[in-house]
Structure 1
């Protein structure tokens, strides 16, 4: 049975989901802007939302890494995961599975 998430782990999970959700919205917005519709509304909405979500995710990642005493490779991987689209969500699931989002024993 897995251990319960620490508060910093729960916050990281939320930040990873929000970052992934806004990435998806931005990608859809870019498709609509540059695709057959040529409508900029999606980018105007999700561009700033994703920018804020990205910054929130990076700050929460550093906080979680310090509070949960992550190894250096996990911290680096979590920060890098914010760059390619939709990687933060599977990373969060993996971190949860290997126990990085729970208090250390």
Structure 2
């Protein structure tokens, strides 16, 4: 899977989970069916939200985006559906072009520890996927223990 297809897939999944969460909120507050729709949709959205942020960082580092652009990409997940137009903007600007960088090049940034770590990670996609999944689950679990924004009830 290329950086572009990974980013695009997760950006779209993030928008879909926003839809699920909004529909669940309508069911909870408008139709008053109880908390269960928001519990389910919120769980799914929360996990995909964190996955999108990790993907934005990973793809951004691979594509040598600026720190501001990486932060901006992560921030688009906060506003419903903004990941889709942002993805299209990245595509138009050529920010998603290119494969995973597994080898060092003559680019000066390739001498930094962050880039060598990035190359090591993308050269081991299975290990990286498992590790990032564990990290996302750990962060997500911690957030579940802390409770929803605004408290419970």
In structure 2, the residue matched to 1:19 is 14
CA contact (8 A) 2:3 2:98 kept: no
In structure 1, the residue matched to 2:72 is 77
Aligned length, in residue pairs: 98
In structure 1, the residue matched to 2:32 is 38
Q: 1:91 pairs with 82, 86, 90, which one?
A: 86
| Cα RMSD after superposing both structures | 1.6
In structure 2, the residue matched to 1:49 is 44
Which one scores higher on RCO, CA 8 angstroms, separation ≥ 6?
1
TM-score w.r.t. length of structure 2:
0.60
In structure 1, list runs of 5 or more residues that go unmatched.
1-5
Deviation of residue 16 (structure 1)?
0.5
Say which SS state the counterpart of residue 86 (structure 2) adopts. helix
Structure 1 residue ranges (4+ consecutive) displaced by more than 4 angstroms after TM superposition: none
Q: 1:101 pairs with 96, 118, 141, which one?
A: 96
Looking at CA atoms only, which structure, 1 or 2, has the larger radius of gyration?
Answer: 2
Q: CA separation in 2, counterparts of 1:101 and 1:32?
A: 37
In structure 2, list runs of 5 or more residues that go unmatched.
100-153
